[in-house]
Amino acid sequence: GLHWQEIYSRLKSTFNVAKYDQLPQTMFERVINFLNTLGNQYRPIDRSKKDITIAGLDAEQIAKYLVRARAFAKEVEVFHRKLYEDLGISRYVKNDIAGKAYDIAHEFNVWLDPFIEQAIPQLNQQRLANF
């Protein structure tokens, strides 16, 4: 798609304004139509086409992997935070590995948890996390 600076340039030249906030409110509909002509990347994503079906066994294997990856990421985060502390590095110094581990362990849970719950029972999740 177009870079935001290119879009901004085209908007200014098409509507003869120095800044976008100089556009009168009466032109907003025309501006939106103009922006929509710049490419499909500015239209909402149709999520209905993203649904897929997988076999139960495949779903179970993916869920097991996710549970173990999350448990491992939690361990990595704790280890690297403790390592920084033991080395005398201030907790305000950027710790990329611990940060990435935190993201893996927590960031996507809102989407992954329902899938995991459906694919494997809770007791199996706890057992898998302690591999």
Question: Which pLDDT does position 48 carry in this prediction?
Answer: 64
Question: Which pLDDT does position 42 carry in this prediction?
Answer: 45
Q: Kindly state the DSSP code that residue 93 receives in the 8-state scheme.
A: S
pLDDT in tens, 18-60: 887 888 888 888 888 888 777 654 455 565 667 788 888 899 8
How do the residues of the chain divide into helix, strand and coil, expressed in percent and rounded to 5? 75, 0, 25
C-alpha closest to that of 105 among 81, 121, 123: 81
Please give the Cα distance from 27 to 12 (Å, whole number).
Answer: 13
SS3 38: coil
Query: What's the pTM?
Result: 0.55
Using CA of residue 55, residue 56, residue 61, residue 65, what is the dihedral sign? positive
* Stretch 12-23: mean pLDDT: 82
Show me where the domains of the chain are located: 4-47, 52-129
